[in-house]
Chains A and B, each alone.
Chain A
Amino acid sequence: MDQFKKIWQTFISKPMAVVGALMLLVVLIMALFAPWLAPYDPQEHIDVSISDILAPPDAEHLLGRDDAGKDVLSSLIFGARVSLIVGFVSSFFSMFIGTTVGLAAGYYGGRVSNVLMRFTDFLMVIPDLPLMLVIISVWGRGLWKIILVISILYWTYTARLVRSQVLSIKERQFVLRARALGASNFRIIIRHILPQVLPLIIAQAVLDISSSIIAESTLSFLGLGDPMLVSWGMMLNFAFERAVSRMAWWFLLPPGFAIVWVSLAIILIGNALEEIVNPRLKTHHLFNPRNMVSLLMGKPPLVEPEPTPEVGT
């Protein structure tokens, strides 16, 4: 598709976006090739002596050992898998839910919109974290349960965004034309409305990845992560409980740094994408007549964005 090609070209011309992409690539490689990259297998049973516990970095263990005597670097590398799976999968699900709700509410309007948007508002105003804690403690801990919880709580912004775009797109003449051709509502939504909002949805989904990763880390940090898997959040949790008092910085800093690294990478990418595809963030056009008038009268031009459809807050 030409539009995606165009977006790609603009994307790679932004230095910050390229930096973000490279940063993400590092993490992706780490996650994909973890068994080959990691010097030890974190699941492997090892015999530890007292001196191995929280041993500082040395030549064999570049980032030292944790409270169970395991290699911190290996846990860190395997932890990337959990973070990325949670990030990508739950942002995909929340994109799907948010898009469906937004399309339906925006296109059908009226009662459908009222019901859906009130529910969205309801979810939006409830503080996420306590709700997640409650749900997880009821459902129990597990990777897929965490993904599910994040997905069903993080779609609201996408829904609002999509709805507000649909509201303006559905008034456009090509939608009226499709109706005059006899197209069904489903066809109009899929063929004529969705393609116009898709780039915006994708940009939003990318930003969602980083909030999902942070949410997972938070849950794990609070001790609600999947007990079978090592994730960065869980490493932080253990480090906080057991390593801080012993000043074992090699255990505490790497997972924190990793979370910041991947969130930053995704935010850089997401912001660049959003800047490219979100009409509201575009700057004004030179031929804005009002600007022309102020130029004429010897005043500095007004820097004012072109009026664009309102985007939900």
Chain B
Amino acid sequence: MSVLDVRDLTIQYLTEQGDALLAVEGVSFSLEQGRSLGLVGESGCGKTTVMLSLLRLLPEAGRITRGQILFNGQDLLQISEREMRAIRWNGISMVFQGAMNALNPVRTVESQIIEAIQHPDMKINSQQAVLRAGELLELVGIPAKRGKQYPHQFSGGMKQRAVIAMALACNPSVLIADEPTTALDVMIQAQIIELLETLQKELNLALVIVTHDLGVVAEMCDEVLVMYGGTLAEYANSDTIFNDPRHPYTQRLLRAFPDIAEPGSELASIPGSPPRLDDLPPGCRFQPRCQFGEEQPICVQQRPDSIEIAPGHRTACHLIAELER
């Protein structure tokens, strides 16, 4: 059974003027223990909103209006805030984007990890907590004795490792990492990718990587969910997405991404820019930028549903059948 099963998730944001903006619409995916999912999309496509909703940490203006989030079969949208608190960090944990820069500068790294360990639901005394903090640091490749240091004595890569250690403090079964490699140097990026891969195998984690970097997804994810303008564009295993993409957006995104294995190859950018939430096109959200949907009335008028075109391969495009020919 999947550890995480998201069905038809729809999220709205209320603006100050009282309008409801559709931030995420009809997103579904599932994830099994020990597998990794890459959630890919450009900024503003709703990927971070989806992740925050899994933890029920949406900003106040956000409302989940439809759908289910099943964690081990239990719908997280039906339980109380108290029960939810027991699942955050213990069941589902998250490495926030930029969290490495949000470590408290005046407390040692160890004490901040201990704070994460002493979750209200974890009965643990302080001696055990210190041991556990050391264990966690070693797990992410930092010598335990460096826990006594302050964040400014850590390099960027080590801070990111420390933040990952904090996320693992309560043995979660699902780990969400939001842009874990952004703003890191190439070599440090590789070290973090390697670390996440190792952790995933050793701890049998279900891993969700939220990123805009297709390369990182190709390197480490089993499944990929491509989002565009708050909707699911394409969802399949990694090999299919990268070698047999069907949705026009996925195809063009891949062509816009430089491949170091083939230097000098042509890059084709996608003209235009992603839709703004307050100005969503009435039909398919990608239609204004899509070379196929330009004059198709159905693309302009009607929103495509995501359909399963092969086992485990879903995509939302009106023209999918025609494009295949």
Contact = CB atoms under 8 A, between A and B. Distances in A.
Q: Do chains A and B touch in the complex (CB under 8 A)?
A: yes
Interface in B259-292: none
Interface string B83-94: 001001100011
5 contacts: A293-B166, A296-B57, A296-B88, A297-B119, A298-B85
Given A286-B60, A287-B59, A298-B85, A293 B99 contact: yes
A288 interface: yes
Given A298-B85, A298-B88, A293 B119 contact: no
Interface in A40-85: none
Nearest to A288: B102
A296 to B, nearest CB: 5
Interface centre among A286, A288, A290, A296 (most CB of B within 10 A): A296
B interface secondary structure, majority: loop
Given A296-B55, A297-B116, A289 B99 contact: yes
Interface of A: 286-290, 292-293, 295-298
A292 B176 CA distance: 14
B104 A290 contact: yes
Contacts, number: 40
The 10 A-B residue pairs whose C-beta atoms are closest, nearest first, are: A289-B102, A290-B102, A298-B85, A289-B96, A289-B99, A296-B88, A286-B59, A298-B120, A289-B98, A292-B96
A141 to B, nearest CB: 54
Contacts of A287: 59
Contacts of B101: 289
Contacts of B119: 297-298
A295 B115 CA distance: 13
Contacts of A293: 96, 99, 102, 116, 166
Interface centre among A287, A293, A295 (most CB of B within 10 A): A293
Contacts of B93: 296
A294 to B, nearest CB: 9
Nearest to B48: A287
Contacts of A297: 88-89, 115-116, 119
Nearest to B85: A298
Interface in B100-121: 101-104, 115-116, 119-121
Interface size class of B (residues with CB under 8 A): 20 to 34
Nearest to B60: A286
* Most chain B CB neighbours (cut-off 10 Å) among A288, A292, A295, A297: A297
Nearest to A296: B88
Contacts of A295: 57
Contacts of A288: 102
B97 interface: yes
A246 B7 CA distance: 86
Contacts of A290: 99, 102-104
A295 to B, nearest CB: 6
Given A297-B115, A297-B119, A289 B85 contact: no
Contacts of A286: 59-60
B86 to A, nearest CB: 8
A289 to B, nearest CB: 4
Contacts of A292: 57, 96, 99
Contacts of B103: 290
Contacts of B94: 296
Contacts of B57: 292, 295-296
Contacts of B97: 289
Nearest to A302: B104
Contacts of B59: 286-287
Contacts of B85: 298
Contacts of B89: 296-298
A206 B120 CA distance: 50
B56 to A, nearest CB: 10
Contacts of A296: 55, 57, 88-89, 93-94
Contacts of B102: 288-290, 293
Interface in B178-202: none
Contacts of B98: 289
A172 to B, nearest CB: 18
B158 to A, nearest CB: 17
A58 to B, nearest CB: 56
A37 to B, nearest CB: 44
A297 B78 CA distance: 20
A290 B97 CA distance: 11
Contacts of A289: 96-99, 101-102
Contacts of B55: 296
A252 to B, nearest CB: 50
A292 B59 CA distance: 10
Interface string B7-37: 0000000000000000000000000000000
Contacts of B60: 286
A292 B120 CA distance: 16
Interface in B213-271: none
Given A289-B99, A292-B57, A292-B99, 5 more contacts: A289-B102, A290-B99, A292-B96, A298-B85, A298-B88
Contacts of B104: 290
B44 to A, nearest CB: 14
Contacts of B166: 293
A292 B101 CA distance: 13
Interface string B111-144: 0000110011100000000000000000000000
Contacts of A298: 85, 88-89, 119-121
A308 to B, nearest CB: 15
A286 B96 CA distance: 14
A297 B115 CA distance: 9
A6 to B, nearest CB: 14
Nearest to B100: A289
Nearest to A290: B102
A204 to B, nearest CB: 30
